[in-house]
Every structure is written in structure tokens, then in C-alpha cells.
Copies of this chain bind each other. A is one copy, B any other.
Amino acid sequence: MKPKFEITKKDRKTNARAGVIKTPHGNILTPAFFPVGTKGTVKGLTPEQIKEIGVEAVLANTYHLHLRPGENIVSRLGGLAKFMNWNGPARNASANVAGGPTMTDSGGFQVFSLGVAMETGQAKLLREDVQEEGKPRLNKITEEGVTFQSHIDGSTHKLTSESSIEIQEKLGADLIVAFDDLESPTYSEARTRESLELTKKWLLRSHKAHRSPNQLLYGVTHGGQFEGLRRESAEFVDKHFDAIALGGAHSSKKNLYDVVEWTVVNVSEEKPRHQLGVGEVDDIFEIIERGIDTFDCVIPTRLGRMGHVFVSPPIGNRKNRFRYDITKAKFEKDPKPIDPKCQCYVCGSFTRAYINHLFRARELLAYTLATYHNVWFINDLTKRIRQSILQNNFQALKKSWI
């Protein structure tokens, strides 16, 4: 069964919509946040905790799983969902579905990222994906694809449209992504067009290579910060694919929102739209308002491990980006929960003082608790936005937050 998207309700005043993506591993209620489980685990959480949080689907990285343990092992063990024992949201249990919904990316971002990061000075933006890097890799890009060195053992690998799709078929996620070139926010329009042309070729080859009847293949839109290229890319992807992933580079938050607008008006309404790698609180409201159905982001997990925890208004606001650093000395004796308004397990069970202690003592539980809270926070916010769309009060909810 091929995953299928249905729109349940459209917001009256904006492009926001609530819907459902029906997959062989259960339904994804949208708008939905996909936490990132890079190597087949959302860092610090058991799949039971992910379920308890109410997560709809998990995104894993093709690049990492290809290098270790390898797609053949994942496939032999039943595919990504079964491999990591992710059984989806609690409502799946009654549906007797084996495994929960998952998505994989194309691997392209990771293959390119260090090279581009070094070229453009964007390395700090890419920490999550290249965190194991000790030294620069030599990546060679040709029209055929990318030859790169493993960050684990230095061995040489090649990723192409065809191999990316083949790996993703073996990993067995429900939602997969076509292979694309990586563009940089520092590229000129001419250089961005060059990249877009290569991406178009790779997308078509990905589409041709895609055979699995149970996976929905997302084409990726590119075009950097440039309206003309973005519109062209959106039309191209919409012409060839049944699902739209918004990728590529942006020059600012405003540009990100503009890009969503330029894209959405140029793709078919009935196709699901996934925003790759975005997920600050304000971004979530803005992209959903403009018609995004799903998005993945490492911010809740990565920042959680650093001790940066999310907090609701009025403590949280646009200026502090709805978060604070719980490792600071001022929380040493604080008996309050991370977020007094939060209903999650962590906020119902632990004080800021205890979590502060755990971070200072570098205890494993620190990373688990902060990650749990952050994923819960972003997931819950997304679910509340879904509810607000269903109940015709999206604008009121947005106003109360930002």
C-alpha cells in the first residue's frame, strides 16, 4: 500500500490545513513534527518514551544508517521501524500495525555538508550531522553522484540517485526523499541555478529508480533564496512527484517563509508537503500557516542535550526563542518544573534543581529528561496547532504564542 494523503480540514483564513498521511505502518495526523533519529534512535529516548510523548513519525538519516550498520542489516531485521522497535503512536496498538511510521532523507545533505560547510564557513550550522567528524572529507561531485569517505573508517563510498533510492528501499521507511544537490545560502543566483539543474536531473533519476509500492517518494524543491528559481523548482517537482519536500537554502527567516509561499502556490493542493530541517517555535507557526503538513528538526534533541529547554509563554517568548539554559547556576535550588505550564512526564516529576544537578554531574539522565521534555514540547505544540485548525482558531493560538 502506497502512503496516501488526505486533507481533513482547511483553515478559513490561511493556507494551514489538517490532514492524515495513511502509511503501511499506521496513520500520521498532520500537521506533524518528526523528531530526528539519526542512526535509528532518537538520542536518549526509548521508543516507548517516544510513543508516550505522542510522536507521529520518526525521521532517520540514510547516510548514517548506510555506513553503520548498513541497509542490509536493517533490512534483514525487518526494516527501520522494526529494527528500532518503533511502533508508532499509541493508537497504532489497537490497529494491530507492526512498526510505526518512519521517513528517511536521501543522504545527500550529510554527504555534502562538511564540504560545503568548510567552503562557506557554515560548519557550526551543521553540527548534528557532522559531529563525528574529526577531519575534512574529500568529496568528489560529478554528474553521476558523490564519492565520499566514511567518517567512521575512511572507506570510499558513492552515493547516486539510484543508490540513494536503493538504500532507502532497503531501510524501508514509509516516506522517502529523492537525491538532490546541496545549495548554499551564499551562492549567487547563477550558481544556484547550476545546482538546481543538477538537482532536477538527480530527481528524475531518483523517480525512475523508485519501484517500491509501499513507499511515498518526495521530490525536493530547491532554488535558494530566489523567487524565480523557487517557483520553477516547485512546478518541476509537482509535475513529477506525488509528494513535495521543501529543501535548499534560505537567506533569513523571512526568506524561509517567502519560499514556502512561492512553493505552495505552485504545487497541487492534494499533495503532502514536508519542510526539511526547520522547527523553531515561530517557524512552526509560520510554515504551517503557509501550508506545510510535516517537518523534521534536530533542534529539540540537539539543544536538549546541551541543556537548552523549551518553555511556554509568558516565560518563553520570541526574544528568548522560547527556551533557556537549565545548566545555569541560578537553577541550582529551583523547585519548579522546567516549564510550569507543561503537562509532560518530566515536568510532572522533576525539579529544575534536580535536572541542573544532573547536567552539572554529566549524568546520562540529564540528556534523557531534557530531550523528552523538548520533543514533547514541540510535538505538543504541533498537535495543538492541528487542533486549532480543526476548531477554526489557529490565528488565536498563534497570537497567544508569538
Q: Report which A residues bind B (CB closer than 8 A).
A: 39-41, 43-48, 64, 68-69, 73, 76-77, 83-85, 332-333, 335, 345, 349-351, 353-354, 356-358, 360-361, 363-365, 367-369
Other A-B contacts than A43-B363, A69-B356, 4 sampled, CB-CB below 8 A, are A40-B357, A68-B360, A73-B353, A76-B335
A354 touches B46 (CB 8 A): no
Closest to A360 in B: B68
Pairs across A and B, CB under 8 Å, 10 listed: A40-B357, A46-B368, A47-B349, A48-B345, A64-B361, A68-B357, A69-B353, A73-B333, A77-B351, A368-B368
A83 CA to B355 CA in the complex, in Å? 10
Q: Could you tell me the distance between the alpha carbons of A349 and B77 in the complex, rounded to whole angstroms? A: 12
Partner of A354, one of B48, B85, B345, B353: B85
- Oligomer copy total: 2
Q: Is the CB of B77 within 8 A of A361?
A: no
Cross-chain contact A40 with B85 (CB below 8 angstroms): no
* B357 x A69 contact (CB < 8 A): yes
- Which of B69, B77, B364 is the one whose CB lies under 8 Å from A44? B364
Leading 6 A-B pairs by shortest Cβ distance: A44-B364, A69-B357, A41-B365, A85-B349, A39-B361, A41-B363
Closest B residue by C-beta to A366: B41
Q: Which of B77, B353, B356, B358 contacts A41 (CB 8 A)?
A: B358
The CA of A69 and the CA of B68, in the complex, are separated in Å by 39
* Residue numbers in B under 8 Å from A68 (CB-CB): 357, 360-361
List, in ascending order, chain B residues with CB within 8 A of A369's CB: 46
- With A39-B361, A41-B363, A354-B85 known to touch, is A69 a contact of B332 (CB < 8 Å)? yes
List of B residues within 8 angstroms of A85 by Cβ: 349-350, 354
A73 (CB) vs chain B CBs: closest residue = B333
* A45-B365 in contact (CB<8A): yes
Q: Is the CB of B46 within 8 A of A333?
A: no
By a CB distance below 8 angstroms, the chain B residues around A350 are: 85
Per the bound structure, the CA–CA distance linking A351 and B82 in Å amounts to 10
Interfacial chain B residues near A41, Cβ < 8 Å: 358, 363-365
B43 touches A333 (CB 8 A): no
Docked Cα-Cα span, A43 to B368, in Å, equals 11
Q: Are A39 and B349 in contact (CB under 8 A)?
A: no
CB distance from A299 to the nearest CB of B (A): 17
- Given A360-B68, A363-B41, A365-B41; A353-B46 close (CB under 8 Å): no
Q: Which residues of B contact A368 (CB under 8 A)?
A: 44, 46, 364, 368
Contact A365 B46 (CB under 8 A): yes
